[in-house]
A and B are shown apart, each in its own frame.
Chain A
Amino acid sequence: MPLLVGDKMQKLVLFARNYGIAVITLLLFVLLAATTDGFATERNFRNILDQQSTVLIAASFMTIAIIAGNFDVSVSAVFVTAPLFALTVENATGSVTLAVLVGIIVGLAMGAFNGLVVTRFKVNSFIGTLATSFMFFGAGYLISDRSLMRPAGDIYQQIARTRYFGITSATWIAIIVVIIAALLLSRTRFGRNVFATGGNQEAARLAGVNVSRVQATTFILLGGAAALAGILNSSRSISAQPSDDFSFVFTVLTAVIVGGTSIAGGQGAIWRTITAAFFLAFLSNGFNLHQIDPIWQRLIQGMVILLAVGVDAWTQRRAG
């Protein structure tokens, strides 16, 4: 019966689209737990959680920005630069609270600037945030005077490294931020407006959605999240250094895209991004435990991303 085949196919495609990443992550988890010594241990999981916390924070809000129809490459620059501002304040005043506050405000301001560039001046978001990245990196070199910065007191390092119930504060903060982002996207008017804006901008505008404001807000929130991630990272390593290293944003983007959030906007979910982040973390954790050459790790990671994007394109066509 060709009828049934078609129907089943359609359902399979929809299922793959929605839950494929969860199934694959679970399979990988079971595989690693069964075959790899040292994987299924409490310590290993705590480590993975702690390592992933910065990625999860940024990836949650990156998911929102991409659903609204925009890319933000400047996440790396904010991640690098915001802690330099925070440490400058910490060194000058000794107040960690003030330092964190200033760091996050810098991130929000950088996000607002991105929002302005994209919504007011109508610059393509990929190109626009690439340009602002260099400005933000530059600001980092200026504020730090091109040198490595360390906190003056020893409270700063506790931001990320304090343990509650055996789990680091960085992990707890990440959990809270992820929950906030997920609620924002699925349970508020703002979340619906994000989906609508990314789904069909003109239709959203005619339905009374202030499209520019929605998009700018996604940039501001993402800037704040990237700054928080950067501060946690600097607290963990008890230092911060100016650079123009773009690698963080690619880790973040990989999680979002492997998680099946549509690059075209209008579709995606935070939980899928988070699942994908863990899939990638398990993958590299497994590689490390098996002591596989990092060069091979890269090759395989690249293939995984390509596969994810390919499957996305394929299901789009089938379901379309």
Chain B
Amino acid sequence: MADLTSQNKTLLTLSGVSKHFGGTQALVGVDISFERGKVHSLIGENGAGKSTLGKVLLGVHQPDAGEMMLDGEAIHLRNPAQGNDRGLVGISQELSLLQNRSVADNISLGREITRGPFVDAKKTRENVLATMERFNMHLDPDVHVGALPVAEQQKVEILRALSRDARLIVFDEPTARLASHQAEQLLELVRSLANSGAAIVYVSHFLDEVLKVSDTISILRNGKLIRTSDRKTETRDSLIVGVTGQEVQNQFPPLSPPDLQAPPVLSVRGISRAGEFEDISLDIRPGEILGLAGLVGSGRSEVAHAIYGASPLDKGQISFAGADLSKASVSDCLKNGMALVPESRRDQGLMLSRSLLENVSLPHLRQFSGVLGLNKKREYEEVDLRCKETRVKHEGLRHPVDMLSGGNQQKILFARAAVGQPKLLIADEPTRGVDVGAKRSIYDLIVNLANQGEAILLISSEIEEIMGLCHRVIVMSRGRISKELVQDNLTEQAVMNAAFSGG
């Protein structure tokens, strides 16, 4: 009897599923099953195969070997549409919405109710409203999706999935682009979807989230399924051991205190930019790591960009290493010794189709230029040296950077900064989308630079990172500084309170 019920609960079973891309074995003989009404998380480092597995479930990728059984029936999905028809839907990291169409249009896309050759707009809309009602997720159906914040856009995508009678929903890193309170709400939603009977597959980097939301957790490493276990038997540490295959070491390297007598290298006084931030003042000393915390959208990155000369100030002064940089351009700031590791390495950091060499040397070409153009030998030697220092793993400096893992791409940006030997490094979400092992080496880099006397402005949405790395923390809320926290005052609770204080 017990066997029978468990069989009924199982919705989708994979056995011996393998998949390779070019020379990379992304999945190796994976056996796994997903049950109705359960949240089943997939975790692992970048490249462990968790996203690939999610995509196999949806029919985006076709396995090279192995079988898939849906409700006891063997299926072969040739494309995502076939997956959709069987109620297998995905909510992806990158949203796939039509920005210039309304919420209702997006939700009903491909499922419009027609009368003859025409779309029955009224009925289609009623259907959308009914779905919103049923799941208690209310959005204005007539607003253009492009006008909505990311968290709301994600809801549109979820509603679209739900309107298709989803039986299994794959969430791939759904909270990566959300602020923490929005992530909280999303987790609740995921739970309630499971309670209503859907099988949920939850792919995430964030272990705390996974522990909070899951019933079952599967760990993948190098394309192999390491184990599947009940959430109650796992802890954060046991998951880290499973994911990395190594014992947990202290996550953060030791910090040495900065020289409090030294004059600040950066002094920002009362800077404002309409609609972004107001009246921001801060100082950073050499060797100090100043954390800039706050919710996504609180103005942290905007302040960083303004300091770096990438957007002009409406008001206020910036002085840096004895120079007035209030009206400076990016190249002025670079020349004076600033460096930025931007928030999004793909959109703001790297030329993906170009080589490591060109990516690293780009801001510093003046340094290698003479009357006869670039001194390519000197450039190569310098870039090679910096890539070794920052421990970039690569197959050659002339290879394009898009072949590298996220962690290595991030290190390239640190190598780029290092070429300029900056006095101030602004690191905006330096470990986003980077696996556990690479995270630790990025922390090492940051702390090393600080120990050598570089001032660091660290922006992060991960509270542990702020707590573990910073000497001092400024919390922003709605474009203003809501609190400055040092030493005894610097607690997780205090940072969160200040972030949500609403300024």
B350 interface hit (Cβ, 8 Å)? yes
Neighbour of A204 across the interface among B25, B329, B362, CB < 8 A: B362
| A205 surroundings in chain B (CB, below 8 A) | 310, 330
Q: A7 to B350, Cβ gap below 8 A?
A: no
Given the known interface contacts A10-B23, A205-B310, the answer about A192 and B348 at a Cβ–Cβ threshold of 8 Å is no
| Beta-carbon nearest neighbor of B365 in chain A | A189
Interface residues of B in 361-397 (CB under 8 A from A): 361-363, 365-366, 369, 372-374, 376
| Beta-carbon nearest neighbor of A267 in chain B | B353
| A187 surroundings in chain B (CB, below 8 A) | 372-374, 376
B325-366 near A? 1/0 per residue, CB < 8 Å:
000011101100000101000011111111000100111011
B22 interface hit (Cβ, 8 Å)? yes
B61 interface hit (Cβ, 8 Å)? no
In the complex, how many angstroms separate the beta carbon of B331 from the nearest chain A beta carbon? 4
CA distance A209 to B372 in the complex (A): 20
Chief secondary structure at chain B's binding surface: mixed
| A6 surroundings in chain B (CB, below 8 A) | 20-24
Neighbour of B347 across the interface among A2, A189, A203, A267, CB < 8 A: A203
A1-17 near B? 1/0 per residue, CB < 8 Å:
01100110110000000
| Beta-carbon nearest neighbor of B345 in chain A | A203
| A192 surroundings in chain B (CB, below 8 A) | 358, 361-362, 365, 374
Q: A266 to B354, Cβ gap below 8 A?
A: yes
Given the known interface contacts A3-B23, A207-B362, the answer about A202 and B348 at a Cβ–Cβ threshold of 8 Å is yes
Chain A interfacial residues counted at CB < 8 A: 29
Interface residues of A in 184-211 (CB under 8 A from B): 187-189, 192-193, 195-196, 199-200, 202-210
Q: B310 to A195, Cβ gap below 8 A?
A: no
Given the known interface contacts A189-B369, A208-B331, the answer about A200 and B351 at a Cβ–Cβ threshold of 8 Å is yes
Q: A206 to B310, Cβ gap below 8 A?
A: yes
| B24 surroundings in chain A (CB, below 8 A) | 6
Q: B22 to A206, Cβ gap below 8 A?
A: no
A183 interface hit (Cβ, 8 Å)? yes
A320 interface hit (Cβ, 8 Å)? yes
A-B contact count (CB 8 A): 91
| Beta-carbon nearest neighbor of A3 in chain B | B23
| B484 surroundings in chain A (CB, below 8 A) | none
Q: A204 to B351, Cβ gap below 8 A?
A: yes
In the complex, how many angstroms separate the beta carbon of B33 from the nearest chain A beta carbon? 27
| Beta-carbon nearest neighbor of B374 in chain A | A187
B402 interface hit (Cβ, 8 Å)? yes
In the complex, how many angstroms separate the beta carbon of B100 from the nearest chain A beta carbon? 17
CA distance A103 to B372 in the complex (A): 29
Neighbour of A206 across the interface among B23, B342, B372, CB < 8 A: B342
| Beta-carbon nearest neighbor of B308 in chain A | A206
Q: B330 to A195, Cβ gap below 8 A?
A: no
In the complex, how many angstroms separate the beta carbon of B69 from the nearest chain A beta carbon? 25
CA distance A205 to B363 in the complex (A): 10
CA distance A254 to B349 in the complex (A): 32
Q: B347 to A7, Cβ gap below 8 A?
A: no
| B333 surroundings in chain A (CB, below 8 A) | 208
Interface residues of A in 13-69 (CB under 8 A from B): none
Neighbour of A189 across the interface among B342, B352, B366, CB < 8 A: B366
In the complex, how many angstroms separate the beta carbon of B8 from the nearest chain A beta carbon? 38
CA distance A183 to B376 in the complex (A): 13
In the complex, how many angstroms separate the beta carbon of A318 from the nearest chain B beta carbon? 9
In the complex, how many angstroms separate the beta carbon of B325 from the nearest chain A beta carbon? 13
In the complex, how many angstroms separate the beta carbon of B375 from the nearest chain A beta carbon? 10
Given the known interface contacts A200-B351, A202-B347, the answer about A210 and B331 at a Cβ–Cβ threshold of 8 Å is yes
| Beta-carbon nearest neighbor of B340 in chain A | A206
| B362 surroundings in chain A (CB, below 8 A) | 192-193, 196, 204, 207-209
Q: B369 to A206, Cβ gap below 8 A?
A: no
CA distance A183 to B350 in the complex (A): 24
Greatest chain B CB density within 10 A among A7, A187, A206, A209 is at A206
CA distance A311 to B362 in the complex (A): 30
Q: A2 to B365, Cβ gap below 8 A?
A: no
Neighbour of B351 across the interface among A7, A9, A208, A266, CB < 8 A: A266
| A7 surroundings in chain B (CB, below 8 A) | 22-23
Q: A200 to B20, Cβ gap below 8 A?
A: no
Q: Given A10-B23, A266-B353, output 11 extra A-B contacts at Cβ < 8 Å.
A: A187-B374, A188-B369, A192-B358, A206-B342, A208-B331, A208-B334, A208-B362, A208-B363, A209-B362, A262-B353, A267-B353
Q: List 29 A-B contacts (CB under 8 A).
A: A3-B23, A3-B25, A6-B20, A6-B21, A6-B22, A9-B22, A10-B23, A187-B372, A189-B365, A189-B373, A189-B374, A192-B358, A192-B361, A192-B362, A192-B374, A199-B352, A203-B342, A203-B348, A203-B351, A206-B308, A206-B310, A206-B330, A207-B416, A208-B333, A209-B362, A210-B331, A262-B353, A266-B353, A266-B354
User: Footprint of B on A, CB under 8 Å?
Assistant: 2-3, 6-7, 9-10, 183, 187-189, 192-193, 195-196, 199-200, 202-210, 262, 266-267, 320
Closest 7 CB pairs of A and B: A199-B351, A6-B22, A187-B373, A208-B331, A207-B363, A189-B365, A188-B373
